[in-house]
Amino acid sequence: MRPNRLFAAIISIVMIAATAEPVLRKPWEDSFPLSPYAMFAYKRPTKLTMDYAFGVTATGERRTLTPRIVGSAEVLQALTVIQRARAKNELPDLCAKIASRVADLDRYADVTEIRIVSGTHDAVDYLVRHIKGPETVRTTCRVTR
């Protein structure tokens, strides 16, 4: 075999091996050179439990709050703010801070109370059918203006 052909054959074998290598991994392992899209490799549960805050009007209507009011412009960082406050038993303090921020904004003029809850929701039911799962109130506070 000529040197150029030998080099080409070696490169071809290496490339084929690199392409086939993800088949040898566990489905949740995600790495270079190719991604098997681990997030889609196996069925995941659709139920999720998480902590979140929302506003309540004088008539009892629920108002969604922006992540910035909770403490960050990013949704997942706002979730972390609530999780850390819960872990440190500081939810009443966080609730008061959220209420203070809400009180300063005209767009939430009808909000009279803040609730921080833990909710367990099925993603399909919640997003497709608009069915909320059970919620446990962790703390509430009044919005004073």
pLDDT tens digits for range 76-134? 999 999 999 999 999 999 999 999 999 999 999 999 999 999 999 999 999 999 999 99
Quote the pTM value.
0.73
Of the chain, the percentage scoring pLDDT greater than 90 comes to 71
111 strand-pairing partners: 57
Residues 82 and 115 in one domain: yes
Residues 104 and 66 in one domain: yes
Residues 61 and 15 in one domain: no
Number of domains the chain contains: 2
Residue 116 half-sphere exposure toward CB, CA atoms < 13 A: 25
Residues 60 and 32 in one domain: no
Residues 30 and 74 in one domain: no
Residues 29 and 92 in one domain: no
Task: Name the token pair of 132.
Answer: 């909320």
Domain that holds residue 71: 47-142
**Residue 8 to residues 15, 17, 84, 114: CA-CA distances in angstroms?**
10, 14, 56, 67
75 pLDDT more than 80: yes
